[in-house]
């Protein structure tokens, strides 16, 4: 009889984990403690490199390896100015999976990662790009819907899954965005997904280092509180960021307006202005996650935040998700 383990088999085999559950890479949150806890519980933890420079990433990988003997990956932002050096850090530490996020990864980065023995996962926001990434050497894909937290694309996972899953068979495809219960995991596995990626659901894990204030904001929030930011000027295409609405959200709007005004006065070039707008979130996220300033910091969260009901150990969260999926499968087969 079909089981969740059977449906997850391809994804789990690819990751080298017990379950085909990827931890979403969340800056300041997906560090050694949460990543190791995920891998130790049978899932697959992923370090969020974010803006780290190579020595800092090397330190984080080493610290994670001290906490788990299980495999885990590293998420690298494609626009990082030291991307190739970061790839070398991952290869030197024998990280088995490198996840490229935040844009289409340059060919040399994919090539070097694979030559160095790592598997490569890329994010595919549309079917045409999914096919292109597979041709470029991606070993697996993640399709992430607009329900997700942090930087998001314009299309929901419900639509992306229908658009991409029936047509990409050559490599495993993991789905992400708005997944908070096992029943949803089951439905995407049955559609052909090799596994899932969850971020928001693990923010209130006991092992997560996020500030208690940050976790409390998640426990209080509903799906409607996780809103995408708005772009003020089409000349500055701001990638929307989904976060819980607070004073920080309002400050981002004001920040955009000030930067655009400086551009109009020729105090900044267009590239400098774009960078100023994007850089707002790095400091704002740290302010909320680490310092606990949930009014002025950024509370990046997916719409599944309404399903985060308690602080629980990672292992308990994973078992709860799997049990929900198994029970749904049993009801269906019965």
For residue 132, give both structure tokens.
């292109």
pLDDT tens digits, 265-300: 989 888 788 778 777 776 889 999 999 999 999 999
Kindly state whether residues 25 and 160 are assigned to the same domain: yes
Does 83 score more than 80 pLDDT?
A: yes
Asked if the structure places residue 276 within a domain, the reply is: yes
**Which of 95-99, 114-118, 283-287 has the weakest average pLDDT?**
283-287
Kindly state whether residues 270 and 328 are assigned to the same domain: no
Kindly state whether residues 35 and 92 are assigned to the same domain: yes
Q: In angstroms, rounded to a whole number, what is the distance separating the alpha carbons of residues 46 and 35?
A: 6
Instruction: Please report the pLDDT score of residue 13 as a whole number.
Output: 98
pLDDT tens digits, 205-218: 999 999 999 999 99
Does 333 score more than 70 pLDDT?
A: yes
Q: In angstroms, rounded to a whole number, what is the distance separating the alpha carbons of residues 149 and 28?
A: 14
Q: State whether residue 246 is helix, strand or coil.
A: coil
Whether 25 and 13 have beta carbons less than 8 Å apart is answered as no
Percent over 70 (pLDDT), the chain: 99
Identify the CATH number of the domain in which residue 112 sits: 3.20.20.70
Whether 20 and 11 have beta carbons less than 8 Å apart is answered as yes
Split into its structural domains, the chain has a count of 2
Asked if the structure places residue 281 within a domain, the reply is: yes
Please give the residue that has the higher pLDDT: either 237 or 191. 191
Asked if the structure places residue 252 within a domain, the reply is: yes
Mean pLDDT of 131-156: 96
Asked if the structure places residue 44 within a domain, the reply is: yes
CB-based contacts of 278-282 (< 8 A; 24+ apart in sequence) = 278/238, 278/239, 280/252, 280/255, 281/241, 281/252, 282/27, 282/50, 282/51
Instruction: Please report the pLDDT score of residue 246 as a whole number.
Output: 94
Domain residue limits at 251: 222-289
Kindly state whether residues 184 and 99 are assigned to the same domain: yes
Asked if the structure places residue 297 within a domain, the reply is: no
Q: In angstroms, rounded to a whole number, what is the distance separating the alpha carbons of residues 285 and 291?
A: 9
Kindly state whether residues 145 and 55 are assigned to the same domain: yes
Predicted TM-score of the model (pTM): 0.94
Does 112 score more than 90 pLDDT?
A: yes
Q: In angstroms, rounded to a whole number, what is the distance separating the alpha carbons of residues 60 and 62?
A: 5
Instruction: Please report the pLDDT score of residue 195 as a whole number.
Output: 98
Asked if the structure places residue 300 within a domain, the reply is: no
Kindly state whether residues 53 and 155 are assigned to the same domain: yes
Kindly state whether residues 102 and 249 are assigned to the same domain: no
């Amino acid at each position: 009889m079909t089981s969740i383990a059977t449906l997850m088999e391809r994804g789990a085999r690819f990751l080298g984990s017990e379950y085909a559950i990827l931890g979403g890479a969340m800056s300041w949150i997906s560090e050694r403690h949460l990543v190791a806890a995920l891998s130790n519980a049978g899932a697959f933890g992923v370090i969020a490199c974010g803006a780290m420079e190579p020595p800092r990433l090397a330190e984080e990988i080493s610290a994670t390896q001290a906490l788990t003997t299980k495999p885990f990956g590293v998420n690298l932002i494609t626009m990082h100015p030291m991307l190739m050096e970061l790839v070398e850090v991952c290869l030197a530490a024998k990280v088995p999976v490198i996840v490229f996020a935040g844009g289409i990864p340059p060919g040399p980065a994919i090539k070097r990662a694979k030559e160095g023995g790592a598997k490569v996962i890329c994010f595919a926001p549309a079917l045409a790009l999914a096919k292109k990434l597979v041709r470029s050497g991606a070993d697996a894909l993640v399709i992430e819907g607009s329900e997700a937290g942090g930087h998001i694309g314009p299309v929901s996972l419900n639509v992306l899954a229908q658009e991409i899953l029936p047509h990409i068979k050559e490599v495993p495809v993991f789905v992400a965005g708005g997944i908070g219960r096992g029943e949803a995991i089951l439905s995407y596995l049955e559609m052909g997904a090799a596994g899932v990626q969850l971020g928001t659901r693990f923010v209130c894990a006991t092992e997560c280092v996020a500030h208690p204030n940050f976790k409390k904001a998640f426990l209080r929030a509903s799906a409607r509180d996780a809103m995408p930011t708005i772009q003020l000027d089409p000349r500055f295409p701001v990638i929307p960021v989904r976060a819980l609405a607070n004073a920080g959200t309002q400050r981002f709007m004001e920040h955009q307006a000030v930067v655009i005004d400086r551009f109009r006065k020729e105090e900044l070039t267009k590239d400098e202005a774009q960078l100023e707008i994007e850089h707002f979130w790095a400091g704002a996220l740290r302010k909320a996650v680490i310092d606990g300033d949930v009014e002025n910091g950024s509370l990046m969260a997916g719409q599944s935040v309404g399903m985060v009901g308690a602080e629980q150990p990672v292992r308990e969260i994973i078992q709860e998700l799997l049990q929900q999926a198994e029970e749904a499968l049993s009801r269906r087969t019965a």
